[in-house]
Chain A
């Protein structure tokens, strides 16, 4: 009996032990744990793990902020694929250094090697991202750039005149009819030498519509609209029922010009400017515009000539609201609204009042009704101000502190970033109730859902773009990287999966499923289509020509040599132009070109492309050049020499490759 008791005890122990093993060894928590929980972490890791050989599901295009560039990441992995040079020179790719791309950075102020890029915006067809182009604004010297997503290269930059601080830009209309550019600073109109204190009388705020050719993508300014000198902060165009309108937020309707942090926050409400651009097209057709002098550059890169050209234009068409009834209305919106976002149906216009705890939602239907009823609170410079009560559809109450931006999913929810309370808040469109919130730990600026500002969001992930992310990563001196955080938003609750460092300051980002980009990829440029005036389409066409003190080297590259690779007869003081054509017709086989003492950068020549490096040797000697991009097993053999003789030397110009007779 005693034995029996022992056996029974052992049996219970065994059972208990097995049961515990089950619970602790391989049991899963029931999902109520915190994000810090080990099991949840491993589940998050699985969701962002893209195995070797697999590809990410989405592209994310992030602005580089003060780097002036765009970075391309994959989602959900967060991996960085490319940095596309846009507004800043890039020695790595020779952008802004080689002779072909200098014109891309030309402006009415001359060549500008830097800017501050803020808002990437994908082109759309029928309100959906179509994967053709990416637009982005330059904030400092106002410009809009277009990147071709078949080559991931900047192909066009248009300057915006009568503007200062191109912040509310380049948000597109739903068929990419236009990209817009609202000025963040009031500036004298026309630009002139006046006392700053004449702000209220002399300064204006211009909204610009840039037409985009539906076939070529070529941009040019269609018209500008002259508004009071408020600070136009952000914008989004209508969609669906509100297609044909654009909404611009404004702050500093107080029209102050010093200590704005106090002076520009006095009024309870500023305005969202609602612009009827279809009406603008009617007024243009009727000739109701003023053609005014305005210098601005239109810079275009050609994939045929592999060259950019810069054209300075001298005039723009300006519409004045007082002369164009029905063109612009003001919607009173509380607390210095920052982002303005339109829900996928086009009915709701969200004003993110950055000093508020609430979100203001206007109704497009109510706005149209109020316009029809001519129910105006007042009129400012010919612009009717609608009554707040007439247009407001609802308020997302006490959602957080400092709302900045809202994006949408495809299930009827809005997601708003709150800078001060550092969180993303999910709310129901229509009922305005808050349904979930997720801390971002650091101050979030923009957020992004692929397609989240279009008619058809691809609402699987949300990316929070955070600033001042102290102590998030290994420290790197006084300046730390900014961070992107990836959330899974496919369920009821947002789930933080990953965070990763970003380039510069990613103000805004846009995302798109990879299947919309991959089929457009260009693998190389066809040599037979190369229309560069200095190309050499085969080694037989290579040569060196002297024109006074200019020397033009028609050079080619192919694995693994330059032709020619020996040049003599160059003299101190010559301007030597190396026109390098890459003869490869094979995906991902660029060749580089660098020569000792060059005061600019390298060339990185894509297959089938021609690029030109200017070299001005300052002292006699024999100088090496070489390929900078590991191109083949014999890459290290891909090199050559240029002999530089004194100015008055009698050394004949000659060049060769291999042991063949020098060409003369």
Chain B
């Protein structure tokens, strides 16, 4: 009797195992058919050394913008800066980032602050292609963060939200104006 019971148990367990094993096998098969073969990659992953470089590629190759690049990567905005655009990016130098109060940058680079960081970066990007000549004194420039910022023409140059344009680089998908300050949206100042 005891023997029969244990046989029942063994067989019972075995059949349950067959059933579940079978199901999980099927599940694995489905996973194998889709998950590992689907490789999601964005525009910034396109390998194209021939075309005129885009904003991201220029930033990546600029020794003065390693902090900006780090921030763009942390905010996962690489594809935005690769997109057809056109965009005008006001790109603070490493020196400009260094002017931020101690600890600010480290705080922003934390994963939980990704959205804030993204908003700050978008505060540096205007949809459209605005040469320095097209930036007129007193105009309000619409930024990708949703804010308007003030343009000022001073004797020593053009200022956007208080940051001075130091130089300009033309990209395939827009313009980069190198600026001397990190611009912070009013709500974060």
- Chain B residue numbers with a CB within 8 Å of A585 are 51-52, 172
Decide if B40 touches A52 in the complex (CB within 8 Å). Answer: yes
Which residues of chain B (125-160) have a CB below 8 Å from chain A? 127-129, 134
Decide if A26 touches B37 in the complex (CB within 8 Å). Answer: no
Decide if B85 touches A632 in the complex (CB within 8 Å). Answer: yes
In angstroms, how far is the closest chain A Cβ from the Cβ of B54? 7
Is A193 an interface position by the 8 A CB rule?
A: no
Decide if B84 touches A559 in the complex (CB within 8 Å). Answer: yes
Which residues of chain B (26-67) have a CB below 8 Å from chain A? 26, 33-34, 37-41, 46, 48, 50-52, 54
Decide if B18 touches A523 in the complex (CB within 8 Å). Answer: no
State A129–B124 Cα separation when bound (angstroms). 51
- Known interface pairs A586-B51, A634-B127. Does A22 touch B37 (Cβ–Cβ under 8 Å)? no
Decide if B52 touches A17 in the complex (CB within 8 Å). Answer: no
Decide if B52 touches A631 in the complex (CB within 8 Å). Answer: no
Is B166 an interface position by the 8 A CB rule?
A: no
Number of interface residues of B (CB under 8 A): 41
Is B11 an interface position by the 8 A CB rule?
A: yes
Taking a contact as CB atoms closer than 8 A, the residue among A11, A607, A632 that contacts B7 in the complex is: A11
Is A53 an interface position by the 8 A CB rule?
A: yes
- Chain B residue numbers with a CB within 8 Å of A18 are 11, 14-19
- Known interface pairs A7-B8, A559-B129, A559-B173. Does A53 touch B15 (Cβ–Cβ under 8 Å)? no
- Chain B residue numbers with a CB within 8 Å of A314 are none
In angstroms, how far is the closest chain B Cβ from the Cβ of A492? 25
- Chain A residue numbers with a CB within 8 Å of B188 are none
- Report the interface size class on chain A: 35 or more
Residue-wise interface mask of B (1-20) relative to A, using a CB-CB cutoff of 8 A (1 in contact, 0 not): 10011011001101111110
Which B residue's beta carbon lies closest to that of A51?
B37
- Chain A residue numbers with a CB within 8 Å of B22 are 21-22, 25-26
Which A residue's beta carbon lies closest to that of B127?
A633
In angstroms, how far is the closest chain B Cβ from the Cβ of A535? 17
Which B residue's beta carbon lies closest to that of A658?
B134
- Known interface pairs A4-B4, A53-B39, A587-B50. Does A632 touch B15 (Cβ–Cβ under 8 Å)? no
Which A residue's beta carbon lies closest to that of B49?
A523
In angstroms, how far is the closest chain A Cβ from the Cβ of B152? 19
State A12–B172 Cα separation when bound (angstroms). 73
Is B86 an interface position by the 8 A CB rule?
A: yes
Decide if B128 touches A634 in the complex (CB within 8 Å). Answer: yes
Decide if A15 touches B40 in the complex (CB within 8 Å). Answer: no
- Chain A residue numbers with a CB within 8 Å of B11 are 11-12, 14-15, 18
In angstroms, how far is the closest chain B Cβ from the Cβ of A157? 29
Is B95 an interface position by the 8 A CB rule?
A: no
Which B residue's beta carbon lies closest to that of A53?
B39
State A246–B4 Cα separation when bound (angstroms). 82
State A524–B53 Cα separation when bound (angstroms). 13
Q: Which residue of A19, A53, A523, A631 has the most chain B CB atoms within 10 A of its CB atom?
A: A53
Q: Which residue of A7, A54, A524, A633 has the most chain B CB atoms within 10 A of its CB atom?
A: A633
Is A584 an interface position by the 8 A CB rule?
A: yes
State A52–B85 Cα separation when bound (angstroms). 24
Is B25 an interface position by the 8 A CB rule?
A: yes
- Chain B residue numbers with a CB within 8 Å of A17 are 15
Q: Which residue of B1, B11, B38, B41 has the most chain A CB atoms within 10 A of its CB atom?
A: B11
Decide if A586 touches B172 in the complex (CB within 8 Å). Answer: yes
State A40–B11 Cα separation when bound (angstroms). 32
State A638–B63 Cα separation when bound (angstroms). 35
- Chain B residue numbers with a CB within 8 Å of A280 are none
State A139–B20 Cα separation when bound (angstroms). 63
Is A46 an interface position by the 8 A CB rule?
A: yes
- Known interface pairs A11-B8, A53-B40. Does A584 touch B14 (Cβ–Cβ under 8 Å)? no
State A587–B5 Cα separation when bound (angstroms). 73
Is A516 an interface position by the 8 A CB rule?
A: no
- Chain A residue numbers with a CB within 8 Å of B85 are 559, 632-633
- Known interface pairs A559-B86, A632-B86. Does A19 touch B173 (Cβ–Cβ under 8 Å)? no
Is A241 an interface position by the 8 A CB rule?
A: no
Q: Which residue of B8, B33, B46 has the most chain A CB atoms within 10 A of its CB atom?
A: B8
Which B residue's beta carbon lies closest to that of A16?
B15
Is A589 an interface position by the 8 A CB rule?
A: yes
State A53–B22 Cα separation when bound (angstroms). 31
State A636–B38 Cα separation when bound (angstroms). 34
Is A10 an interface position by the 8 A CB rule?
A: yes
Is A311 an interface position by the 8 A CB rule?
A: no
State A21–B15 Cα separation when bound (angstroms). 8
Residue-wise interface mask of A (8-44) relative to B, using a CB-CB cutoff of 8 A (1 in contact, 0 not): 1011101101110110011000000000000000000
State A25–B22 Cα separation when bound (angstroms). 7
In angstroms, how far is the closest chain A Cβ from the Cβ of B40? 6
- Chain A residue numbers with a CB within 8 Å of B25 are 26
In angstroms, how far is the closest chain A Cβ from the Cβ of B82? 11
Which B residue's beta carbon lies closest to that of A21?
B19
Decide if B84 touches A589 in the complex (CB within 8 Å). Answer: yes
State A14–B11 Cα separation when bound (angstroms). 7
- Chain A residue numbers with a CB within 8 Å of B174 are 559
Is A140 an interface position by the 8 A CB rule?
A: no
- Chain A residue numbers with a CB within 8 Å of B128 are 560, 634
Taking a contact as CB atoms closer than 8 A, the residue among B1, B41, B54, B83 that contacts A53 in the complex is: B41
Taking a contact as CB atoms closer than 8 A, the residue among B8, B46, B84 that contacts A633 in the complex is: B84
Decide if A586 touches B52 in the complex (CB within 8 Å). Answer: yes
- Chain B residue numbers with a CB within 8 Å of A524 are 50-51
State A324–B17 Cα separation when bound (angstroms). 83
Decide if A53 touches B38 in the complex (CB within 8 Å). Answer: yes
In angstroms, how far is the closest chain A Cβ from the Cβ of B86? 5
Decide if A631 touches B26 in the complex (CB within 8 Å). Answer: no
State A103–B8 Cα separation when bound (angstroms). 87
Which B residue's beta carbon lies closest to that of A630?
B84
Residue-wise interface mask of A (582-615) relative to B, using a CB-CB cutoff of 8 A (1 in contact, 0 not): 0011110100000000000000000100000000
Which B residue's beta carbon lies closest to that of A631?
B84
In angstroms, how far is the closest chain B Cβ from the Cβ of A56? 14
- Chain A residue numbers with a CB within 8 Å of B17 are 18
In angstroms, how far is the closest chain A Cβ from the Cβ of B58? 13
A-B contact pairs, 7 of them (CB 8 A): A11-B4, A14-B11, A19-B15, A26-B26, A523-B50, A559-B129, A632-B85
Q: Top 7 nearest A-B pairs by Cβ distance?
A: A18-B15, A585-B52, A586-B172, A18-B18, A51-B37, A53-B39, A11-B8
* A interface residues (Cβ-Cβ under 8 A, vs B): 3-4, 7-8, 10-12, 14-15, 17-19, 21-22, 25-26, 46, 49, 51-54, 523-524, 559-560, 584-587, 589, 607, 631-634, 658
Extra pairs beyond A11-B4, A12-B11, A632-B84 (13, CB < 8 Å): A8-B4, A14-B11, A19-B15, A21-B22, A25-B22, A25-B26, A53-B39, A54-B37, A523-B51, A586-B172, A587-B46, A589-B84, A634-B128
